[in-house]
């Protein structure tokens, strides 16, 4: 499918899929760094590892470079790494070459060969807000879970826990994103590189200094990156400003979406990154 077209039979946007393939080829997260281990702990802070056995079978829905699968695969029996981008899967294969319990699937979850009721767990971090039918993809994943299995989801938040000023700044930045994401990949990457160095890095390091001096920096834009490397900032700037299809959800939206997909006992994490949530198939 050409990258500027959308196949209505497939729950994937061609331009977005192509963009992420190029993104993960550029930022492959090949190195296993302390920084990534910390980020993994943040995303999985509410995940019920005590309910996942060493023989468990699960899926990384939208695995990208395999940066999270690197830490999940050693804990379980088998992990499906699924992505709509073949280029992204090539990166994941290289990063997970030492893991013989990983199976790579070039597919959307709806079209995947994973049988219904076969998975012991699932997770999808930063993916489902980039697909045309978010609810449909989540429901398709839940169908493949066994009864009682958990699913961890991270969806972009609608800044519902932020100040009016914070949301105003974000809206202005989103106007820029809507223009940048239409550019060819080269200019998108160049713009994100400049942005990471001239906006992300100064604000993040300023927040780090403020925190060191005892200030509450939670409402400073990009304070989340105060302990992150420039590499992560560059990656996330491209992710944020270079992606065509993006949706945002309030905390209440996330709960409704997960319950609508068939999950119960949904718990939403209270800390960053917002919003991470886990629910269980009844």
pLDDT tens-place string over residues 167-197: 999 999 999 999 999 999 999 999 999 999 9
Mean pLDDT value of segment 232-246: 96
Percent of the chain with pLDDT over 90: 95
Q: What are 55-69's pLDDT values in tens digits?
A: 999 999 999 999 999
Per-domain boundaries in the chain: 14-157+248-280, 164-241
Dihedral sign of CA atoms 230, 235, 225, 73 in order: negative
Give CA–CA dist 91/63, Å, rounded: 10
Measured CA distances, 105 to 23, 78, 95, 96, 178 (Å): 19, 13, 15, 14, 31
Mean predicted lDDT score pLDDT of the chain: 95
- CA nearest to 199, candidates 178, 220, 171: 220
pLDDT above 70 covers what percent of the chain? 97
Instruction: Check pLDDT > 70 for residue 2.
Output: no
Of 206 and 2, which is predicted with more confidence? 206
Q: Is the peptide bond before 226 cis (omega within 30 degrees of 0)?
A: no
Joined together, the tokens standing for residue 210 give 């403020």
Q: What are phi and psi of 217, to 5 degrees?
A: -105, 10
Could you give the CA distance from residue 262 to residue 193 in angstroms, rounded to a whole number?
40
Residue 6 has pLDDT above 90, yes or no: no
Question: How does residue 218 score in pLDDT terms, banded at 50, 70 and 90?
Answer: confident
CATH class of the 14-157+248-280 domain in this structure: alpha beta
Q: With a cut of 70, say whether residue 1 has pLDDT above it.
A: no
In this structure, the dihedral spanned by the alpha carbons of residues 2, 5, 10 and 16, taken in order and rounded to 10 degrees, is 90
- Residue range 117-139: average pLDDT? 98
State the pLDDT confidence band at 9, using cuts at 50, 70 and 90.
very low
CA dihedral 220, 221, 224, 227 (to 10 degrees): -80
Minimum mean pLDDT range among 9-23, 183-197, 259-273: 9-23
In sign, the C-alpha dihedral spanning 114, 115, 116, 117 is negative
- Quickly state the pLDDT bin for 7 (edges 50, 70, 90): very low
Please check the confidence at residue 45 and state whether its pLDDT lies above 90.
yes
């Amino acid at each position: 499918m050409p990258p500027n077209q959308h196949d209505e039979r497939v729950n994937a946007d061609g331009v977005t899929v192509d963009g992420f393939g190029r993104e993960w080829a550029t930022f492959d997260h090949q190195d296993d760094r302390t920084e990534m281990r910390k980020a993994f702990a943040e995303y999985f802070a509410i995940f019920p590892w005590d309910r996942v056995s060493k023989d468990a079978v699960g899926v990384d829905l939208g695995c990208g470079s395999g940066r999270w699968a690197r830490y999940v695969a050693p804990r379980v029996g088998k992990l499906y790494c699924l992505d709509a981008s073949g280029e992204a899967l090539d990166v994941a294969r290289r990063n997970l070459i030492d893991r013989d319990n990983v199976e790579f699937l070039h597919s959307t979850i709806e079209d995947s060969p994973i049988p219904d009721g076969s998975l012991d767990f699932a997770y999808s971090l930063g993916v489902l807000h980039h697909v045309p039918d978010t609810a449909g993809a989540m429901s398709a994943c839940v169908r493949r879970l066994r009864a009682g299995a958990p699913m961890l989801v991270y969806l972009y938040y609608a800044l519902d826990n932020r100040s009016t000023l914070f949301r105003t700044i974000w809206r202005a930045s989103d106007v820029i994103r809507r223009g940048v994401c239409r550019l060819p990949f080269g200019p998108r990457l160049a713009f994100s590189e400049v942005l990471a160095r001239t906006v992300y890095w100064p604000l993040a390091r300023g927040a780090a200094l403020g925190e060191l001096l005892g200030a509450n920096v939670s409402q400073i834009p990009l304070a989340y990156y105060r302990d992150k490397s420039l590499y992560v900032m560059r990656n996330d700037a491209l992710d944020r400003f270079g992606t065509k299809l993006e949706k945002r959800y309030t905390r209440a939206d996330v709960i409704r979406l997960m319950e609508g997909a068939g999950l119960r006992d949904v718990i939403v994490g209270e800390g960053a990154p917002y919003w991470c949530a886990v629910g269980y198939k009844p």
